[in-house]
Amino acid sequence: MRSIVHLAAPLALAAALAAPVAVTAGADAEPQPPADGELATVVKVIDGDTIRVELENGEVERVRYIGIDTPELANDERGAEPFGPRAAAANAGFVEDQQVLLEADISDRDRFDRLLRYVWVDTEDGPVMVNERLVALGLADVKAYEPDTRHHEFLLESLEQARFTGRGMH
């Protein structure tokens, strides 16, 4: 397990994921990890926007990324949606077996009892919000789930750039 402070980016995937993404002129300042975030260790990547973590108190929780929606993986009733496996693989490349910082917004949980969080991981280039990076790679859409919209404009800027450059599913 690598710590959030000493995390080395995994090979080429993480290099691509951590690469800076240009945003439009006049954009708000890029968010930074919160000082009051909660540390957790990722024990399983469920799909592109959901993980299972072990909190510092030993509890294991499912975490749903705030503000984004990724294509689904296959289940018994249907096949995988286009880009679903790629989104899950990118998410795993970022957070699998990593220590992450969880940032809450307004709501604590969704209707499926998952924690709702922005997820931060440290890379060689500094802290990265995984929610945003999946959008920047074109592997997630931005969704405003009121009242949890603290970083909505930042996510929209990344979506606009992904569309402009033709990344991923955009």
What residues act catalytically? 64, 72, 114
Amino acid symbol at 22: A
- Report how far residue 120's alpha carbon sits from residue 32's, in angstroms, rounded to the nearest whole number: 9
Instruction: Give the H/E segment covering residue 94.
Output: helix 84-95
Triad 125, 128, 131: Cα angle to 5°: 155
Label residue 91 exposed, middle or buried (CB < 10 Å: 0-12, 13-18, 19+).
buried
User: Cα–Cα distance between 163 and 135 in angstroms, integer?
Assistant: 10
Residue with tokens 């926007």: 49
Q: Which whole-number Å values give the CA distances from 94 to 19, 90, 97, 151, in the listed order?
A: 12, 6, 9, 20
